[in-house]
């Protein structure tokens, strides 16, 4: 732990440096590949949408002695061959079975088969169904919420930082989080439920918060950058990212650990369900969001401003001063506020 904090101090002082900006094109190229793969995977594998999005029938069976998928799925398939049952344990003695939408008669037959097959009471088996219209309505509301969130985020970022380039870089980072996270869901086959979407939107808020913290430090470092001759603009941006790297890592770890605990409890103790759905999206998204802030949003902001005349002039002035003083064209160690 001491080494970690010592490393953090070196990053803050400029004694050590991670080339977030210096290798911006590399990070963005890697990001581009990940985004492309995340867009291609759903086209090949599709998404595993939950019953709330695609509609269907659902059976909840309590007080069962066998929670293995085979038994429950076979019981349903024996009654309705093309029902495509999917069993998920929701506890040590409870399971949930989702199927394609069944008729009332079919649902009653399946209920009777489950009561007999699991040797439980009639009241231990409950059934519900979700029509395709309701699922479509949920999907539309999800997309509407996403558009509203991104729109508000763009406006708030632009007003807060008073520059559209920071706002654009932050929003691109958000889109990377969205695309990569959904790509992971598609590749792994994790079920997308309303609870997962709630967790996903929460992650976007975390990503935005993390980006604001880093950008705030960058803005502090680059204030009146034209008058500074110890560091170039790009180096000031990179220093700001390095100075907040440990904080960003700590925030992410502090967030991920309890989420991982909830995920563990949900999977191994309570069984899959709402707890798992929301914690899984939070777990994946938080990790992706932290990486996006450091390796996408911040380097992209530096690149967006690289061709500004004032930035070019300042960087050239710093370079000439270093050469004039017989120094290498590399950032010096900073032991005080820049």
Q: Check: CB of residue 287 under 8 Å from CB of residue 256.
A: yes
> Which has the closest alpha carbon to 92: 274, 285, 268?
268
Helix, strand, coil percentages, rounded to 5, for the chain: 70, 10, 20
Q: What is the pLDDT of residues 107-126, one digit of tens each?
A: 899 899 998 888 888 888 88
Task: Please state whether beta strands 191-192 and 48-49 pair in parallel, antiparallel, or not at all (unpaired).
Answer: parallel
Mean pLDDT, residues 130-136: 70
What are the residues whose beta carbons fall under 8 Å from the beta carbon of 4, sequence distance 6 or more?
246
Does the pTM surpass 0.95? The reply is: no
Give yes or no for residue 338 having a pLDDT over 50. no
**CA distances, 42 to each of 48, 142, 189, 234, 274 (Å):** 10, 18, 10, 37, 23
Query: What is the per-residue pLDDT for 274?
Result: 57
Split at pLDDT 50, 70, 90, the class of 267 is low
Q: What is the pLDDT of residues 269-287, one digit of tens each?
A: 555 555 677 788 888 888 8
Every domain range in the chain assigned CATH 3.30.70.3400: 56-130
Tokens (6 digits) for 56: 């269907």
Q: What is the pLDDT of residues 184-236, one digit of tens each?
A: 988 888 888 887 888 888 888 888 888 888 999 999 989 888 888 888 899 89
Residue 93 carries which DSSP code? Answer: T
Tokens (6 digits) for 248: 């960003």
Query: What is the per-residue pLDDT for 39?
Result: 93
* Cβ neighbour number for residue 310 with a 10 Å cutoff: 11
Phi/psi at 95 (5° precision): -140, 160
Q: Which residue has the higher pLDDT, 223 or 265?
A: 223
Give yes or no for residue 138 having a pLDDT over 80. no
Give yes or no for residue 135 having a pLDDT over 70. no
The class that CATH gives domain 8-48+134-324 is: mainly alpha
Gyration radius of the chain over CA positions: 26
Q: Check: CB of residue 185 under 8 Å from CB of residue 266.
A: no
Every domain range in the chain assigned CATH 1.20.1640.10: 8-48+134-324
CATH of region 56-130, choose from 3.30.70.3400, 3.40.1190.20, 3.40.50.1370, 3.20.20.70:
3.30.70.3400
Query: What is the per-residue pLDDT for 132?
Result: 65
Query: What is the per-residue pLDDT for 336?
Result: 42
Query: What is the per-residue pLDDT for 335?
Result: 44
> Which has the closest alpha carbon to 241: 169, 176, 310, 175?
169
Highest mean pLDDT among 9-23, 37-51, 135-149, 154-168: 37-51
> Which of 134-143, 248-257, 299-308 shows the lowest per-residue confidence on average (mean pLDDT)?
134-143
């Amino acid at each position: 732990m001491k080494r970690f904090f010592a490393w953090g101090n070196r990053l803050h002082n400029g004694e050590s440096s991670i080339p977030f900006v210096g290798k911006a094109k590399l990070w963005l190229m890697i990001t581009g590949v990940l985004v492309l793969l995340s867009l291609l995977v759903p086209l090949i594998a599709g998404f595993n949408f939950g019953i709330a999005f695609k509609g269907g029938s659902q059976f909840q069976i309590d007080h069962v002695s066998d929670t293995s998928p085979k038994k429950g799925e076979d019981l349903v398939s024996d009654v309705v061959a093309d029902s495509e049952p999917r069993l998920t344990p929701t506890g040590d003695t409870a399971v949930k079975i989702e199927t394609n939408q069944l008729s009332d008669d079919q649902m009653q037959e399946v209920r009777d088969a489950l009561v007999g097959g699991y040797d439980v009471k009639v009241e231990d088996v409950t059934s519900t169904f979700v029509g395709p219209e309701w699922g479509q309505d949920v999907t539309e509301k999800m997309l509407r919420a996403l558009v509203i969130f991104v729109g508000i985020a763009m406006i708030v970022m632009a007003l807060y930082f008073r520059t559209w380039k920071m706002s654009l870089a932050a929003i691109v980072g958000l889109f990377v989080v969205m695309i990569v996270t959904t790509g992971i869901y598609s590749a792994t086959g994790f079920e997308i439920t309303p609870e997962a979407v709630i967790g996903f939107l929460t992650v976007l808020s975390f990503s935005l918060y993390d980006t604001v913290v880093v950008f705030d430090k960058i803005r502090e470092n680059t204030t009146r950058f034209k008058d500074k001759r110890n560091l170039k603009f790009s180096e000031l941006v990179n220093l700001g990212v390095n100075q907040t790297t440990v904080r960003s890592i700590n925030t992410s770890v502090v967030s991920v650990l309890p989420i991982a605990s909830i995920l563990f409890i949900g999977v191994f103790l309570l069984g899959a369900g709402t707890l798992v759905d929301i914690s899984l999206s939070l777990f994946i998204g938080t990790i992706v969001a932290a990486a996006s802030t450091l390796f996408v949003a911040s380097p992209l902001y530096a690149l967006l401003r690289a061709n500004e005349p004032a930035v070019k002039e300042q960087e050239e002035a710093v370079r000439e001063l270093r050469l004039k003083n017989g120094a290498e064209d590399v950032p010096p160690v900073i032991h005080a506020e820049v």
